[in-house]
Amino acid sequence: MRKTSIITGSATGVGASTAIQLAEEGWNVVVNYSKSEREAEETSQVCRSKGAEVLLFKADVSVDDKCRDMVSAAIEKWGRLDALVNNAGTTRFCPLSNLEGVSEDDFLHLYRVNVLSAFQMSRAAAPHLKKTKGSIVNVSSISALNGSGSSIAYTSSKGALVTLTLSLAHALAPDVRVNCICPGFIQGRWTRNFLKENYDRVNANFAQASSLQVTATPEDIADAIAYYVTRAKINTGEIRTIDGGFSHNVAKLG
């Protein structure tokens, strides 16, 4: 019987690449989206071409009922759940020094999407993941570890997601493994949409500041997620940085 996975925010980018990679490795997948229906359909078609069964599910994962509905739909379709990838996320750009530029609504919105959704999805999925000895992978950011990023609301929400990972790893052990990926700059539509005309410059700056002189593609991050989903059988509570050595390149950063 094929294993099954839910990947939140999987219409495009890292989520789509993860769904496709798991499909290639023999998994059935839930492709989740909230707005990008056309892209989600395209991702689903690619997954089906790899031999996977696909459940396309529209849901705002910041809403608890939608999270529970999505998990229930996966169980109804396949009778099991083996992995959850909490990839859905958003940001708002505001210089860190502009404390007045970040509103209460900004904080609450980013925490709902970046942190609360991961908790709600994990809570809904946990009983089923325990039955299969499954896993959860949360997608955070190096912003969680260095405090620098698109806004204070974003960096703190991603930091909270790291802590949530550690707490869930304790709470769900020994039945469910819970790990976290912290990517650096990721090429593609998501960052391009937010950065607009600044995209090429920011991408080049991150590459120059990294040890390997590169930035990550969505496929690079999907590789790491798939590792924790399918192969890291004795790893839990791990926080893995994937940034081409950007975080450790003290000489260039200093």
- Token pair belonging to 223: 């590789």
Residue of 33, 154, 199, 228 with catalytic role: 154
Which residues does 192 contact at the CB level (< 8 Å), separation at least 6? Answer: 199
CA separation (Å) from 180 to 26, 37, 217?
A: 23, 27, 18
Question: Is 154 known to be catalytic?
Answer: yes
The sign one gets for the Cα dihedral 124, 127, 132, 135 is positive
- Token pair belonging to 125: 């999925």
- Token pair belonging to 107: 């904080």
Alpha carbon of residue 62 to chain centroid = 14
DSSP 20: H
Question: Which residues are tagged catalytic?
Answer: 154
